[in-house]
Structure 1
Amino acid sequence: MNIATREAYGEALKELVSNENVVVLDADLAKATKSIEFKKVAPERFFDMGISEADMIGTAAGLATCGKIPFATTFAMFGAGRAFEQIRNSVAYPNLNVKIAVTHAGVTVGEDGGSHQAIEDISLMRGIPNMVVINPADAVEAKKAVHAAVEYYGPMYIRFGRAATPVIHNEDYEFKIGKGEVLREGKDVLIVATGIMVSKSLEAAEILSKENIEATVVNISTIKPLDTDLIVSLANKIGKVVTAEEHSIIGGLGSAVAEVLSEQCPTKLKRIGISDMFGQSGTPEALLEYYGLTVNKIVEEVKSIY
């Protein structure tokens, strides 16, 4: 079953309607981001801010000072990019309880092209003090991450996708901020993945197993704070690491893992992601193939390090 994580975001917002402190803001993209689902059930707590992301973040900060829990929603490119200064200075600097919930991240935005494909957003957000950065692997995790965001006090950036992707979790899955998840155990290589690359890593592990290469697959949905204990313990035991993400390899999951390993556990490492280039227009499938965000690429890189 394939479900877009943005769809799960809309469903989660509907489930939060009973919490009167939850408010939702959107930058004229509610139908696309699915925040419109909250408007349907609580129109008095939904605010369309127009095409004005900076204003939206400032307004969300103000609402947070009054005890509200604002979810500020737009496309990832505009949320992390256009509103960066407001996120840094008006939300993170005073450590306000604002959730920046963005959709249409990565190259799977597809035909909208490179101008709308946020592949630097994790890098931008993880560099901001006080910011928690979450990139769910599937719709189940996305919904649980939204619920967890309400219980957590402080700035948070949650990244959702446009394209439908495989659901890998059961409904009883327990999401915890800052904790990685071991999905498969193997002695030969450690694959650390995030977002849509988690399901692809599981597929790759099955192929590798048929060639007598057993992979441990870890889902890192919280990029910051990173589960360093889990990564270091597994890297120490296994000795070979491959990271996979739908994001630039500069500043994203691969960089975060490399930073930890270089300081605590020097290890052979390969990073799969987008290599210092912009996206372009095309179908999601064609773009994933072009940028090497595929099951076959994971298999290839594992073999190269093995």
Structure 2
Amino acid sequence: MSASTSADTTPVLSYSPVVLSVPGRPADLQVRVSAPVTGTGLPVILFSHGHGRSNHLSSLNGYAPLANHWAAHGFVVIQPTHLSSRTLSHLHADTPGAPYFWRSRAEDMTHVLDRLGLIEAAVPQLAGRVDHDKVAVAGHSLGGHTAGLLLGARVTDPDTGKEANLFEPRIKAGVLLAAPGRGGGVLTGPMAAQVPFLQSIDFSTMTTPTLVVAGDKDDSRHFTDMGPDWHADPYTLAPGPKTLLTLFDAEHGLGGIAGYDAAETTDEDPERVTSVGRLTAAWLRTAFHPDHAAWRAARETLTAAPAPVGRVESK
């Protein structure tokens, strides 16, 4: 990563949509690309949105607080609109994979990687500045499930009964934000029957280095009675190397990462959102450059603060 991309005030360019035609996909794959206006050798973050109630937060138009922060700190952020987005509500309910499109969501990221050079060339001022060998995936909520599959977690396809392996070896690191946890008997909530693909998730195969971010007040009773610990499962049930960042007093929105002033955020806290951006960027920078001190410095700042925003553990 070159210089001139670390300051909070670094200008960011955001370009959308870049439209990719994918054979067999019932709608074109549209992505937003955000990047700093300066710097070369920029690593890539593929970001998978959640499945919220808003029309546009769950699309390429959402998660601006995170996308802008990561881009200002030297990353190229690529945000696809998955078929599950409410912006594509014209798709019929009987479209294969509806309404969650769990498999298609992961396949979207593979399509993006297959055409990363085309995307880079389509965005003004970006050509020649992207490091195609440094790719991470991040996702929030259902997007965390998508990211987990790309990082190596596996599920049993409820339609075929066969194990689905969507691991993407070109992805070198991941960040799971308020991602779903284990399936099976713990899924006792009213939503459990509606998401059969969550019943069988296996984190034991998720070997890619990953930062799991979970709120200690994120109690997803509509899925499970496990409480907030459920969202730490991608850490506790996966092999190392893994890091768990537990955010104090954070609920499912992690302070409001899905959008500026989003009414559905139950724990709005701009400082928490800034912390999520800062800590995840530092972890990813060190994941791509192990000799970089960014993550160590971020952890020291976290523990030295009079009122820490969270705690960190690793394995």
Structures share fold, TM-score greater than 0.5: no
Q: Answer 1 or 2: which has greater helix percent.
A: 1
TM-score in terms of structure 1 length: 0.30
Q: Work out which structure has the larger RCO, using CA pairs closer than 8 Å and 6 or more positions apart in sequence.
A: 1
Given the two structures, how large is their TM-score scaled by the length of structure 2?
Answer: 0.30
